[in-house]
């Protein structure tokens, strides 16, 4: 997918498409170009604190994009509310790691976009793991902790 000039984000749909393209590409500049540069923006990553303002949100994306493995998204259960200057998207992010055929995680996400003088920009990203995802993560952690290690001393 070719990057869209973010000053021309003519719709919330286009802004959302660019948000996920930047995330999958681990492209910090493209990610932050989709965010509003106003102070009233908020980002809550799964099980994370409430981040406010451009700088806090940018710092969080630096950490995520530098430390995440290659991922792909398939958005499902999409709901939308569209207004003249605000658009809300409720989606499930099904997250695939590397070349996996099945998603490793599903995240309930709310993205809110506002029409600005620079085009549509994201002003809120709130993501929470589904209950099933939390159970699977707990199960995996428990299995990892139950692994017996056979140590032989010579």
pLDDT tens digits, one per residue of 94-151: 999 988 999 999 999 999 999 999 999 999 999 999 999 889 888 888 887 765 544 3
Domains and CATH numbers, the chain: 6-143 (3.10.450.50)
What is residue 117's DSSP assignment? T
Mean pLDDT over 59-75 rounds to: 96
C-beta of residue 4 within 8 angstroms of C-beta of residue 15: no
Distances (CA, A) of 78 to 74, 106, 136: 11, 13, 23
């Amino acid at each position: 997918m070719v990057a869209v000039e973010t000053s021309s984000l003519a719709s919330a749909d286009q802004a959302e498409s660019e948000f996920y393209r930047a995330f999958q590409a681990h492209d910090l500049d493209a990610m932050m170009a989709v965010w509003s540069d106003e102070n009233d923006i908020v980002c809550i990553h799964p099980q994370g604190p409430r981040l406010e303002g451009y700088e806090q949100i940018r710092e969080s994306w630096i950490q995520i994009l530098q430390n995440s493995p290659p991922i792909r998204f398939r958005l499902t259960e999409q709901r939308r509310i569209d207004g003249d200057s605000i658009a809300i998207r409720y989606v499930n992010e099904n997250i695939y790691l590397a070349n996996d055929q099945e998603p490793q995680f599903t995240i309930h996400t709310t993205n809110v976009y506002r029409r600005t003088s620079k085009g549509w920009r994201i002003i809120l990203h709130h993501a929470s793991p589904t209950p099933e995802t939390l159970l699977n993560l707990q199960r995996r952690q428990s299995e990892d902790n139950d692994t017996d290690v056979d140590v032989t001393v010579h």
